[in-house]
Amino acid sequence: MDEETETLALAIGRRVRAQRQARDWTLDRLAAEAGVSRRMIVNVEQGTVNPSIGTLLRLADALGVRLPALVQARAEASDLVEVTRHGEGAVLWTGEHGGRGVLVAGIESPDVVELWDWTLEPGERHASEAHSTGTRELLHVIAGEVVIEVAGAAHALAAGDALTFSGDVDHAYANRSAGTARFSLAVFEFGVGSSHREARS
């Protein structure tokens, strides 16, 4: 891991551990609630692994918190605004050719909205497992060309195009062109952690 990734991994580990301990949960309990291995929980809490976006989403949902609460640096905030400065977003995906998926902003649970800034270099593809039921994604291509795969169907978009789709099915973002592609993505996920809270009540 590079220094930036290592710093983020350690911060995520501290936050996951704090959330788990605040609930008086064992590692096994969190593993069971999140559907990930105990070994992965240990590695995440120790900051020795760069967890996938899917793993982070499962942990956030199990803990009943929004993803930004686990990954974002402390933003400038007041009762009315929260500012994330350029370069302060959480880089949660890095492609083999230098592409990046950066979580730049988000709002509180239980109804979560995340704002992402994505860059895909030629040949890069990011596959995402299905999110919780009812999740919607809105994508706007800023530059280049992007192919969005939703439940096996491919949708080619060029700069200026936009797409709204269900995020509760398997989907992927791919750059099959020869140039860099960049897009903004908003994810709306409703009732995050509610299934776990209801099960405990």
> For 27-45, what is each residue's pLDDT tens digit?
999 999 999 999 999 999 9
Residues of CATH 2.60.120.10 domain(s) within the chain?
A: 80-189
Measured between alpha carbons, how far is 60 from 53 in angstroms, rounded to an integer?
10
For 144-186, the pLDDT digits (tens) are 999 999 999 999 999 999 999 999 999 999 999 999 999 999 9
CB-side neighbour CA atoms (13 Å) of 117: 10
Residue 199: band (very low, low, confident or very high) from pLDDT cuts 50, 70, 90: very low
Whole-number pLDDT of residue 195 = 46
Distances (CA, A) of 116 to 27, 97, 130: 30, 19, 17
- pLDDT for position 89: 86
Q: Start-end ranges of CATH 1.10.260.40 in the chain?
A: 3-74
Does the predicted TM-score (pTM) go above 0.85?
Answer: no
Q: What is the CATH number of domain 3-74?
A: 1.10.260.40
| Superfamily of chain region 80-189 | Jelly Rolls (2.60.120.10)
Residue 56: name the closest of 45, 67, 42 by CA. 67
Three-state secondary structure call for residue 170: coil
pLDDT, position 196: 41
Q: Are 66 and 108 in contact (CB under 8 A)?
A: yes
Query: Angle at the Cα of 166 (from 41 to 102), degrees rounded to 5?
Result: 50
Residue of higher predicted confidence among 61 and 151: 151
